[in-house]
Amino acid sequence: MNTFNNTALIKNKATDLGFDYCGIARAVPLDDDARRLETWLNKGLNGTMAYMENHFELRINPLKLVPGAKSVITLLLNYYPGVKQNAGNPKVSAYALGDDYHEIIKKKLNLLLQEIKEHIGDISGRGFVDSAPVLERSWAQRSGLGWIGKNGNLINKQSGSFFFIATLITDLELEYDTPLVKDFCGTCTKCIEACPTGAIADNKVVDGSKCISYYTIELKDMLIPGAMKGKFDNWMFGCDTCQDVCPWNRFSKPNREPGFTPYPELLNFTTQDWEELTEESFKKIFRHSPLKRAKFAGIKRNLNFLEGS
């Protein structure tokens, strides 16, 4: 089979597995991104997320992850929910309303790689979902799937930004999509103005150490800085403010992935329900949920902080 047919097969299989978009870029070192990432890290904008400083060479060079890599396949999976949380309840980011996306997407990636090997041959490839040292948004842009917005999110012109990004690096030569070089944010600054903690600068630099998602998920200290009091806008886990105000997300449509069906508890739990929740019940209800990343103690800390604001 030639590169054209192989590319068509991969994109068709990606669609069959439920991915919403699939783009492909040539595997090359990301020199410009390396400089930006290094500057961002040197300014300490990663806060206590020291893991982002690890494996720097792997992050910027796909050939370090897959020897002989020729192609980087980027896949987008919509997670926009069809229903909203009840107003006034502690808020949870839309990506965390259903089952853990890592588990769902890893399964799809493994199936895609299996399909490629069955139909094309014994190629080498590795799939990555968020937790590995891969600059997913950069590859998505290089694959023509969108541009990086002022809020740091990948924005797709047809469907907005409520997407998970997965990456499959392979030594298979394929047809490559045209990178999207135009920025369609224009003069809009809605995300900058709406950010409750002022984490978004006007040069597409997001201060991770100021982001509500950082404080409610990544920060492992049991105390959230007092300077953040009153700024969380009732976000208990994550934050979607910069996406909720983005004009491009008027094109978002409810996802079709059964695993992302929101937990009834996350839609309906009041502050009192959360306060009365035991650790045993938390572990039982949310054993497949992204909330387990913050752990029971972290959720309680976040709730206490919101109440004291």
- Summarised one tens digit per residue, pLDDT across range 242-300 is 999 999 999 999 999 999 999 999 999 999 999 999 999 999 999 999 999 999 999 99
Interval 105-121: pLDDT, tens:
999 999 999 999 999 99
Could you say which of 16, 32, 130, 221 is catalytic? 130
Classify strands 147-148 and 154-155 as parallel, antiparallel or unpaired.
Answer: antiparallel
Give start and end residues of each alpha helix (H) in the chain.
Answer: 3-16, 31-42, 56-60, 62-65, 101-119, 136-142, 190-194, 212-213, 241-244, 264-268, 271-276, 279-285, 295-307
Q: Within 13 A of 94's CA, how many CA atoms are on the CB side?
A: 20
Q: 241, 197 in Cβ contact below 8 A?
A: no
pTM above the 0.85 mark? yes
Q: Is 183 part of the annotated catalytic residue set?
A: no
* pLDDT band with cut points at 50, 70 and 90 for residue 44: low
- The end-to-end CA distance of the chain, in Å, is 62
